[in-house]
């Protein structure tokens, strides 16, 4: 055991430092996402989704740094990453709307001015929608119309259409009136 440690001392110490630093960065990023979610009154399930994205990002960074630490050259690493991204790129080109909706979900997390319970109007010339936001997911919004119909609206479309606030916190107002 001592021979292994003495042989790979620099790699092991670099691994320990890298893991420690990345855990601190992950903690800080999650704390920042939690703070943004709390300040913006974002539903905690949406904040947990951001935590998953942060975990994936940290894993990619960890793989890259540890591969370099253990002797994988930049040529081999760039070959692996370019191959993986080429395959992912071809696959995602076939299903680009999923990537678009995930990206839109991240944008909505940080900058969507409407909350769950707000009554909004989507100004679409083909299909105008007036509904209450029931839930905001990674790929879509759940909207409940005044007639009780549930509409699943893609995140990428909500960023492309004009949206106006009709009434704020409709669910909360109904809950208060029943007390």
CA distance 103 to 3: 48
Choices 3.40.50.880, 2.30.30.520, 3.40.50.170, 2.60.40.10: CATH for 114-177? 2.30.30.520
What mean pLDDT, rounded, does the chain reach? 84
In the prediction, which pLDDT does 94 show? 63
CA distance 159 to 32: 24
CA distance 132 to 146: 8
116 neighbors 108 (Cβ within 8 angstroms): no
Band of pLDDT at residue 119, cut at 50, 70 and 90: very high
CA distance 51 to 147: 35
Read off the tokens for 143.
Answer: 């909207």
31-85 confidence digits (pLDDT tens): 998 888 888 877 788 888 889 889 998 998 998 888 888 888 878 878 887 888 8
Flag whether pLDDT at 172 surpasses 60. no
Flag whether pLDDT at 176 surpasses 50. no
What φ, ψ does residue 128 adopt, rounded to 5°? -70, 140
Task: Outline where 70-169 has alpha helix (H).
Answer: 74-94, 96-111, 155-160
Quickly tell me which residue has 């839109």 as its tokens.
104
In the prediction, which pLDDT does 74 show? 78
CA distance 111 to 101: 15
Of 166 and 97, the structure prediction assigns the larger pLDDT to 166
Is the overall model pTM greater than 0.75, yes or no? Answer: no
In the prediction, which pLDDT does 177 show? 44
Band of pLDDT at residue 99, cut at 50, 70 and 90: confident
Read off the tokens for 2.
Answer: 């001592």
Tell how strand 129-136 and strand 150-154 pair up: unpaired
**3-class secondary-structure state, position 113:** coil
Of 147 and 111, the structure prediction assigns the larger pLDDT to 147
Give domain limits for the chain. Answer: 2-94, 114-177
- With pLDDT > 90 as the criterion, what percentage of the chain qualifies? 25
Q: CA 120 → CA 5, 56, 75, 147, distances in Å?
A: 62, 33, 51, 14
Query: What is the DSSP-derived secondary structure letter of residue 73?
Result: -
Largest CA distance in the chain: 73
Band of pLDDT at residue 15, cut at 50, 70 and 90: very high
In the prediction, which pLDDT does 28 show? 94
Please name which of 84, 81, 88, 55 lies closest in space to residue 67, comparing C-alpha atoms: 81
């Amino acid at each position: 055991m001592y021979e292994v440690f003495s042989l790979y001392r620099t790699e092991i110490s670099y691994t320990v430092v890298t893991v420690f630093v990345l855990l601190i960065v992950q903690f800080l990023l999650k704390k920042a996402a939690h703070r943004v979610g709390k300040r913006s009154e974002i539903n905690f399930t949406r904040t947990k989704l951001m935590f998953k994205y942060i975990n994936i990002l940290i894993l990619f960074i960890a793989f890259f740094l540890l591969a370099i630490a253990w002797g994988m050259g930049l040529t081999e690493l760039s070959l692996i990453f370019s191959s993986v991204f080429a395959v992912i790129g071809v696959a995602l080109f076939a299903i680009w709307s999923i990537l678009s909706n995930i990206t839109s979900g991240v944008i909505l997390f940080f900058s969507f001015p409407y909350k769950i319970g707000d009554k909004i109007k989507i100004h679409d010339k083909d299909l105008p929608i007036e509904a209450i936001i029931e839930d905001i997911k990674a790929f879509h919004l759940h909207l409940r119309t005044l007639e009780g119909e549930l509409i699943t609206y893609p995140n990428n479309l909500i960023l492309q259409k004009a949206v106006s606030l009709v009434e704020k916190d409709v669910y909360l107002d109904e809950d208060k009136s029943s007390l």
